[in-house]
């Protein structure tokens, strides 16, 4: 497990949140992307070696919509950069962590991702995140 790749923040209005986070971090969003399978629109800002990912739900079925309904806007997950997601998934499974997907799935920003259940990590939703070369 390496650096924090990004922190995902669940927001109601990604346009308004973009204005706020561009002012806060004094940098512009460098990429926006919709992930149809997750029913989200995302916007990325770079801050040093790390990223902030703003997430807005595009459907009431989205995990982001449900999160906001339950907890309000706020930090949704922490993603850690990994070199070999399959190896890291096997290691964490052996350590007793509960993985939310058995195989890596395709995430935003050219990544293979896997989520770890927050029940085993003090309420924190953890994402493993491996870069994919196109």
- Contact residues for a copy of itself, defined by CB under 8 A: 1-4, 7, 9-12, 17, 20-21, 23-27, 47-50, 54, 71-75, 78, 80-81, 91-92, 95-97, 116, 118, 120-124, 126
| Shortest distance in whole angstroms from residue 51 CB to a copy of itself | 9
Q: Which is nearer to a copy of itself, 37 or 122 (CB)?
A: 122
CA distance 134 to 83: 16
Q: Which is nearer to a copy of itself, 70 or 134 (CB)?
A: 70
Interior angle at CA 110, CA 95 and CA 73, nearest 5: 75
Q: Which is nearer to a copy of itself, 24 or 132 (CB)?
A: 24
Q: Which is nearer to a copy of itself, 90 or 134 (CB)?
A: 90
Environment class of residue 119 by beta-carbon count within 10 Å: exposed (0-12), middle (13-18) or buried (19+)?
exposed
CA distance 121 to 40: 24
CA distance 2 to 50: 11
- State the distance between the two ends of the chain, measured CA to CA, in whole angstroms: 22
Strands 74-81 and 126-131: parallel
């Amino acid at each position: 497990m390496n650096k924090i790749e990004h922190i995902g923040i669940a927001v109601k209005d990604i346009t308004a949140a973009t204005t706020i986070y561009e002012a806060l971090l004094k940098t512009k969003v460098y990429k926006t992307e919709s992930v149809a399978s997750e029913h989200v629109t995302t916007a990325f800002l770079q801050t040093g070696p790390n990223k902030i990912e703003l997430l807005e739900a595009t459907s009431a079925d989205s995990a982001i919509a449900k999160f906001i309904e339950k907890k309000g806007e706020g930090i949704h997950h922490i993603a850690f950069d990994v070199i070999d997601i399959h190896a890291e998934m096997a290691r964490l499974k052996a350590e007793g962590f509960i993985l939310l997907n058995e195989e890596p799935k395709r995430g935003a920003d050219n990544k293979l991702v896997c989520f770890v259940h927050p029940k085993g990590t003090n309420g924190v939703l953890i994402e493993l995140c491996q870069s994919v070369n196109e």
